[in-house]
Every structure is written in C-alpha cells, then in structure tokens.
Amino acid sequence: MRQRLRDPMTGLLFVLPMLVLFVIFRFVPTLGAAGMSLTDYKVSGEWSFVGVDNYARLLDDPLFLASLRTTLLYVAVYVPLTMLVSLGTALMLNAAIHAKGLFRGMLFLPYVTSFVLAGVIWRWIYEFDGLLNGLLAKVDLGPVGFLEQSSLVLPALAVVSVWKGFGYSMLILLAGLKSIPGSYLEAARVDGANAWQRFRRITLPLLRPALFFVLIIETIGAFQTFDTIYVMTGGGPARASYTLIYGLYEQGFKFFDFGYAATLGMVLFAVVLIVSLIQRRLLDRGTS
C-alpha cells in the first residue's frame, strides 16, 4: 500500500503549491461572491441577507438584458475571428522555412503589451483624424466613426482584442501542428491528396484537442473583456459596448452595490459554464 501511494503522493506534492493558490485566489472568492449575491453588502461592510432578491431584480432590469445581449454579440464576433487569425498565423509559421523565430516573436509581441496601452493606441487609430481614417480618406471612404457608431463599435473592439491576444492561441496551435507526425502528411501527399484535403482530413482532426483548448480560453476571455472597453469606449456609444463585466464594474465600484455586482458575477459565471459545456458537446459530437 505504501509503495502504491508513493507516486500519487509525490505528484500531489508537486501540484500542491498551485492547488493552494487556486483554492485561495479562485475557489474561495467564488464562494464568497456566491454568498455576497444573496446579501445587500455595502461598502461600509454592513450587510443583511436578502435571499434571491438580487436575482429577481436582474429579471426586471432592462440594462442587464441589454448587457447580456451585447456580451453574447461581442463573443460571437471575437471568438471566430481570433480562431481564424490564430490558426492562419500558426499554419504560416509552421510552413515557413526561414526566420521562424523572428516572425514568432513579432506576432507574439502584442500579447505581452498592456491592454491599456493597446487601447490608447487603437483609440488614436480609430479617431476621425487618426491613421485608419486618414488611409480611408485617400480612397474617398472616410471618415468613419468606428467608436461613435453603435453598429461598428463591437467589431472595432473585437479587432483590437484579436490583435492584442491572438499570439498566445497562435503558439498553442503551432505546438499542436508540430506534434502531428510528418509521415501522415507525406503518405497523403504520395496518395495524391492536395493541400486542402491534407488539411481537412489529417491536420484538422489531429489538431482538434488544441483547437478545443483555444476555443475555451478565448471564449472565457471574450466574456471577461473589460480593459479595452474601459479605455476606448466606457460602455458607449449609447451603451452599445456595455457588457456584463462592465456592468459588474459599475455596480460594484461606481454605485458600490456589491451585492448586485456579485449577482452579475454569478450570472456571468453561469453563462460561461453553459457556453463551455455546449462547445464541449458539439466538439465531441464532431469527433465521433
């Protein structure tokens, strides 16, 4: 018995530091937020138990329903776009012969920059007298109010987030591509399969675990996007970029209604969990 327990206990000791950090900084705050959502917690520390009143308040709050719709729309724009960009750049890097390290570093560089700095730079690019409208004016297509029009603000913000964050997913997919045995592709090439057939029948199925991981983390990241919205639009124009996470920030740190803010956080947690489970089920069905 001692011999059989030695290896599991050794593994547990290695993961114990991260497990302790996870419990302290993730699990315990989640339980605290769940409990706070059942109270009317004030900034002074005073609170009283209100049960599910905060959740009932959500159903009668038109701003909550609008922010939920905006969040889902933003996710629907951002996630496919970042998946396409990440996969495309990973395929190009995998096929590149020269200067792979240089291109990998250049493409990864935006990921390690500050969200605030990226927001400030892109806000200047999107302005009426900014770089993008200057280029559009040369072909008589500008100026365009990318951050001033409700129909354009979410795609504009999604482009910024994709530029900022696709580097990490690109590296994950590139590692997945490197793990595919070259003999499979070579055998398909000998059998007469063209590039699209090799990608569809060999590369894509073998890359599915990496794609699923990237899909999950990018979806969670999209639901939690805050910095870009805070710096570039502040939830505007006319609350067109007012997402759930921005509403949570306002309720908690502008109106100091921490109980209601915690309720928004729990709803966001539930939405992310449901979407992730749906993605897992659809991907498993595609695998079978």
What's the confidence (pLDDT) of residue 5? 67
- pLDDT tens, 113-161? 888 889 999 999 999 888 898 888 888 887 888 999 999 999 999 999 9
- pLDDT tens, 168-187? 999 999 999 999 988 888 89
Whether the predicted pLDDT of 287 surpasses 80: no
What's the confidence (pLDDT) of residue 285? 62
What's the CA gap between 213 and 169, in Å, rounded?
9
**Domains contained in the chain, number:** 1
Q: Is residue 63 part of a domain?
A: yes
Q: Is the pTM of this model over 0.95?
A: no
What's the CA gap between 220 and 275, in Å, rounded?
9
Q: Which of 88, 72, 221 is nearest to 154 (CA)?
A: 72
In the block, tokens 């200057």 appear at 134
CATH of the domain at 250: 1.10.3720.10
Whether the predicted pLDDT of 66 surpasses 90: yes
What's the CA gap between 63 and 228, in Å, rounded?
20
Task: Give the chain's length.
Answer: 288
What's the CA gap between 7 and 79, in Å, rounded?
40
- pLDDT tens, 242-278? 999 999 999 999 989 999 999 999 999 999 999 988 8
Q: Is residue 29 part of a domain?
A: no
Q: Is residue 214 part of a domain?
A: yes
What integer is the mean pLDDT of 12-37? 90
Q: Which two tokens stand for residue 216?
A: 């999950």
What integer is the mean pLDDT of 100-118? 86
What's the confidence (pLDDT) of residue 99? 73
Structural domain of residue 204, as residue ranges?
58-287
What integer is the mean pLDDT of 29-36? 91
Whether the predicted pLDDT of 2 surpasses 80: no
Q: Is residue 232 part of a domain?
A: yes
Question: How many other C-beta atoms lie within 10 A of the C-beta of residue 201?
Answer: 13
What's the confidence (pLDDT) of residue 8? 77
